[in-house]
Amino acid sequence: MNPPTARIPGRCHRIRPFALGAAARLAVNPFVLIPMTLIQELESRLAAAFQSVLGESVAAPVVAAADLRFGDYQSNAAMALAKQRKTNPRGLAEQVIAALDLGGLGTADIAGPGFINFKISPATYAARAKAQLADPRLGLPLTGSGSTVVVDFSAPNVAKPMHIGHIRSTILGDSLARIARCLGFTVITDNHIGDWGTQFGMITWAWKTALDEPALLANPLQELLRLYRHASDSAKADESVREACRMELVKLQRGDAENFEIWQRCIELSRGGLDKIYDRLDVSFDHWLGESAYNDLLAPLVDRLVADGIARESEGAICIFSAGAAEDPAKDPFLIRKDGEWTDFPMMIRKSDGAFNYATTDVATLEFRRREWHADAAWYVVDHRQSLHFQQLFAVADRIGLGEMDLRHIAFGTILGTDGKPLKTRSGDLPQLADVLDEAVAAATTAVAERSRVDTDEERAALAELIGISAVKFTELAHHRLSDYVFDLDKMLALQGDTAPYLQNSVVRCRSIFRKLEEEVDLAAVMPVFSEDAEIHLARQLARYGEIVPLVLEDHRPNLLANYLLELARGYHSFYEACPVLKAETGARDSRLLLCDLTSRVLIHGLGLLGIRCPDKM
């Protein structure tokens, strides 16, 4: 495999021109920008028509049509506005259409009680396709300018088994960060690893009594995990071990030099092991501010919360209780229903033994992000099981003056095994991320050996690594984040399916046309004309790219983009079947080449936003 040439977007806004060979040239003119998506343009023209009829400015939302037989876009604004004004919706729609200036975009008509349907003309789609190809952003608007968002994702716990939630968090969080960056947000990614806490008592005890140095050097994550499991099993069986582990933790927290050194080595070794995994996944972070980074801030924070009357003592601990502000107790995260009654469910920020915990750190972390990074928003991509923790954290944020921040818990479900139960290894343990990736790459190796056209063993190995990891990522991103899904490698790797290999193969096929093209075509000079249904449909799908990507961030759902890309690829294949490209006469050929080029660019760019690269050959 040749090294992937398409730059993954997210770190920068441009895609590097794909290796096109001598056949076609892409003129990237940074000054040609598509000013608005079709939806934005229709909305502004429709709003102007409403204003001229109603004499006041109103919003007139437009959506893509669910059923293309009625048009490309539609609006039910006439119905909503007529209801408010108690007038006849169809009558209002008729007046609006009479006043509507679509500026040549297409036509509008009325259906049923007052729906306004828009049909976009093939000439508009042709002009859009041409402009989109000339735009380095491929028609993506800048919706996030001026806003800083911290994306808190991955965040495994050092020296503890990485649970499957960390896999989902890593893939989802990375994609959301790329998309937000590409849409113009100032994005700060932070790996808030669990590098402090009770597990270090156990690790230190096991380190002192059972460390296998060579194993540690060979595979630090695995050896640390073994030590953790050894300590945890021994502690369960033996009270004196439990006590010894607790003592090691107390020593660490008091700053004992030996224990501190062991802790530091654990962190360094874990970091090295994690870096390797993130490299394979093509995931990176701007910061690694783990829990321990906030140690010094915790005591003063708790004192301040007590002094401000936000937290108080309870049975020796310090807790934050309900402020009683919620009208509905069911919406108050500091209350819980027990035996038919609402009882306190406080957030503990200092235990009775004086130790601070996860919640304390999270409050300190949030304050830090606001103070130091001026974050306007923070997205926590974390397992749904922590939802109560985040509800409490966000409620505390309101009470400590951070209510202006847009705080989101981006929760997700579970990955299931083919037996429909939460994914486990054969021995019943939680599967480790590295093992999951190895397994996917092993399956991809078999698939590549069977069907790939690349020549050397080295190329085959690189392709298998790329495809295996892409398949895992795409499966994650193509599902609604809140639903559980089955980890089924055969399905994930299928060339004909809703998979990464299907999309990657579509790109390769799309590009291969340019290798077969015998003369030089300057696509920048082509004035495309679309007359076949399949051409128009593909152009319509391409034009929607700039509408789909911002939608992802409305509810933090990359599956909207993943599914758009699948549909685009299907649209491309239908087009390719219906419309000959290289054999068509010159005008049609060039219009179609333009569609091929644009399709491959949108697929590469869109996959890049999902953190997935495309090979040159498959």
Sites of contact with ligand ARG (CB under 6 A): 152, 155-157, 192, 194, 362, 365, 380, 382
- Smallest gap from residue 221 Cβ to ligand ARG (A): 15
β-bridge mates for residue 293, sequence order: none
Residues 319, 337: Cα–Cα separation, whole Å: 19
- Smallest gap from residue 396 Cβ to ligand ARG (A): 13
Residues 204, 25: Cα–Cα separation, whole Å: 61
- Smallest gap from residue 15 Cβ to ligand ARG (A): 31
- Looking at the Cβ atoms of 511 and 556, the one nearer to ligand ARG is 556
Q: Using the 8-state DSSP alphabet, how is residue 422 labeled?
A: B
- Looking at the Cβ atoms of 132 and 191, the one nearer to ligand ARG is 191
Residues 6 or more apart whose CB falls under 8 angstroms from that of 385 comprise 165
- Smallest gap from residue 267 Cβ to ligand ARG (A): 14
β-bridge mates for residue 381, sequence order: 410
- Smallest gap from residue 195 Cβ to ligand ARG (A): 9
What sign does the CA torsion over 557, 562, 563, 564 have? positive
- Smallest gap from residue 194 Cβ to ligand ARG (A): 4
Our CA angle for 121, 47, 31, nearest 5°, is 60
- Looking at the Cβ atoms of 155 and 396, the one nearer to ligand ARG is 155
Dihedral of CA atoms 233, 235, 239, 244 in degrees, nearest 10, equals 150
- Looking at the Cβ atoms of 43 and 152, the one nearer to ligand ARG is 152
- Looking at the Cβ atoms of 191 and 506, the one nearer to ligand ARG is 191
Residues 471, 440: Cα–Cα separation, whole Å: 8
Is-contact 544 606, C-beta < 8 A? no
**CA–CA distances in Å: residue 292 to residues 194, 201, 263, 295, 358:** 8, 15, 11, 5, 10
Residues 441, 277: Cα–Cα separation, whole Å: 13
- Smallest gap from residue 37 Cβ to ligand ARG (A): 34
- Smallest gap from residue 155 Cβ to ligand ARG (A): 4
**CA–CA distances in Å: residue 532 to residues 328, 402, 489, 523, 535:** 57, 55, 38, 20, 5
- Looking at the Cβ atoms of 232 and 365, the one nearer to ligand ARG is 365
- Looking at the Cβ atoms of 192 and 540, the one nearer to ligand ARG is 192
- Smallest gap from residue 365 Cβ to ligand ARG (A): 6
Helix (H, G, I), strand (E, B), or coil: what is residue 311?
coil
- Smallest gap from residue 311 Cβ to ligand ARG (A): 19
- Looking at the Cβ atoms of 152 and 223, the one nearer to ligand ARG is 152
Q: Which two tokens stand for residue 204?
A: 């230190």
- Looking at the Cβ atoms of 76 and 360, the one nearer to ligand ARG is 360
Per residue, the 3-state secondary structure of 48-84, as one string, reads: HHHHHHHCCCCCCCCEECCCHHHCCEEECHHHHHHHH
- Smallest gap from residue 355 Cβ to ligand ARG (A): 17
Residues 8, 604: Cα–Cα separation, whole Å: 8
Residues 6 or more apart whose CB falls under 8 angstroms from that of 315 comprise 352
Q: Which two tokens stand for residue 348?
A: 């503990």
Is-contact 611 8, C-beta < 8 A? yes
